[in-house]
Structure 1
Amino acid sequence: MIKLSILMVRRSDFTYDKFIQYWREVHAPLFAAQSESKKYVRRYIQDHRTGDALPGTTASNFDGIAEIWFDDIAGAKAFFESDGYRKNVIPDEEAFMDRKRCELLYTREYNVMA
């Protein structure tokens, strides 16, 4: 299993609340409705920023994290090259997020404590 974490940045004309509402209520259902999502994506999680911080730590400038799980990198490649992603998901991402400022990190989990 491979996990893609997308460190999200909202469009500058969106408030944080508007960004979260759009991401949750518009983007998530559209993403989930794609046949390619059903074929390649094993899990899709939205991590919404809480605003909490501990003294002496640096708060992140990211607005949230999208976690997308795939069986392997070949499945991720097939999903991101698919017609559904290119024709439907990308235009919707551009409607609420600043894609050029987002960061992508592919990882494998190493479970230390259950």
Structure 2
Amino acid sequence: MLITLGFYKRKPGLSHEEFCRIWSEVYGPLYNHPEVTRYLRRYVQHRLVPQTDFPTQFVGYDGFSESWFDSAEDRKALHATDYAKTHLKPMMAEFLDLENSNFAAYDSQVYQVGGAPPLFAR
């Protein structure tokens, strides 16, 4: 499983409320398309209130997302589709400050609620 996290800042001049509206009401529904769902297993948006009182590298982010894929190849395949090139990517540029947003990819997920961390055999 490949999980890609995107940490987003809104475009300058856009209010946090407008960013959240566009992200959830305009951009989010674009993911309910066969060219996307063919490759994407899960998509989650997390809207944040930008923090100014906590000294971390994530200060000022308006939200983050999780995009779950079966593999890195599926992620690449989604981004290579005509739909991603003509709908997803251009729309991102409409409301995101892409220069100041960050992306990270992870290849596994660990669930832990209290207690000792789980052991994994490799």
**For this structure pair, what is the TM-score category when the shorter chain's length is used for normalisation?**
0.7 to 0.9
CA RMSD of aligned residues (A): 1.9
1:59-105 Cα shifts (integer Å, max 9, x gaps): 62211001100001010011111111011111111111112221110
Q: Which runs of 4+ in 1 moved over 3 A?
A: 50-53
Aligned to 1:37: 36
Distance in 2, Cα, partners of 1:97 & 1:69: 20
Flag the structure with more relative contact order, 1 or 2, with Cα contacts below 8 A and sequence separation at least 6.
1
* Structure 1: stretches of 5+ with no match in the other structure: none
* Structure 2: stretches of 5+ with no match in the other structure: 115-122
| CA-CA distance at 1:52 after TM superposition | 6.8
Aligned to 1:110: 110
Query: Percent of aligned positions with the same letter in both sequences?
Result: 23
Number of aligned residue pairs: give it: 111
Distance in 2, Cα, partners of 1:103 & 1:51: 15
User: TM-score, normalised on structure 1?
Assistant: 0.87
Alignment of 1:1-114 (within 5 A): 1-33=1-33, 35-50=34-49, 57-58=54-55, 60-107=59-106, 108-113=108-113
Distance in 2, Cα, partners of 1:47 & 1:75: 23
Higher helix fraction: Structure 1 or Structure 2? 1
